[in-house]
Chains A and B, each alone.
Chain A
Amino acid sequence: GAGVSQSPSNKVTEKGKDVELRCDPISGHTALYWYRQSLGQGLEFLIYFQGNSAPDKSGLPSDRFSAERTGGSVSTLTIQRTQQEDSAVYLCASSQQGQETQYFGPGTRLLVL
């Protein structure tokens, strides 16, 4: 079946602009995660959705970052007033409830000029 998909694959934006990144999880997966991968920091957790529970936002680096998950499926990560340090690969993963295996999408490569 289809894996986790993310769009766009690449995004170039100017400093100060807002961007939206999309994630389509594997069908039936109740858990959805966003991570960020950058050269200096490696792969870092951002936010986690599990079913109808309140999301775990403990990894969001600032209030410029937000995410929502509509209908328990598709998720959008929004970065407002982008900064150059936001340049990174943003990875989405999904898993079945209570299962440890997280399946990752190919990522969105964000470059802030």
Chain B
Amino acid sequence: QKEVEQDPGPLSVPEGAIVSLNCTYSNSAFQYFMWYRQYSRKGPELLMYTYSSGNKEDGRFTAQVDKSSKYISLFIRDSQPSDSATYLCATDKAAGNKLTFGGGTRVLVKP
């Protein structure tokens, strides 16, 4: 079993809908939680970064971490076709350390 599990999708939504993504993890030592977006044939780019439990909002993006249930979420409001990409969750035990990634969820936002 992988340390970070993520549904591969694809997740298809109409433009303007809320996209809901999530990951579960097994190692309680993970303290840092990130969401990366990856377009086809590009490297991942950081979207959201959260330390420990709680919520964080940035524009249309909201990240949630529930360490008690080892569950992390990303919500994208007012989704746009340009949000179509693969979304990867990642975790870390300490700042500036190696990241452990989920397998990624492919998202398709249809106009």
Binding site for B on A (CB under 8 A): 4, 31, 33, 35, 42-45, 48, 50, 56, 58-59, 91, 93, 95, 97-107, 109
Contacts and interface: CB of A to CB of B under 8 A. Distances in A.
Given A101-B46, A104-B36, 12 more contacts: A4-B43, A31-B96, A35-B101, A42-B102, A42-B103, A45-B99, A45-B100, A50-B96, A100-B32, A100-B96, A101-B49, A103-B46
A100 to B, nearest CB: 5
B58 to A, nearest CB: 13
A99 B43 contact: no
26 contacts: A31-B96, A33-B98, A33-B99, A35-B101, A42-B88, A42-B103, A42-B104, A45-B99, A50-B96, A56-B98, A59-B98, A91-B43, A95-B96, A97-B96, A99-B95, A100-B34, A100-B51, A100-B92, A100-B96, A101-B46, A101-B49, A104-B43, A104-B45, A106-B41, A107-B42, A107-B43
Give me the 3 closest cross-chain CB pairs, A-B, nearest first. A104-B43, A42-B103, A43-B101
Q: Quick one: which of B44, B92, B96, B103 has the most chain A CB within 10 A?
A: B96
Interface string B88-111: 100010011111111110000000
Interface in B1-20: 2
Interface in B63-101: 88, 92, 95-101
Main secondary structure of the interface of B (DSSP, over half): loop
Interface residues of B, number: 24
Interface string B28-42: 000010101000011
B45 A100 contact: no
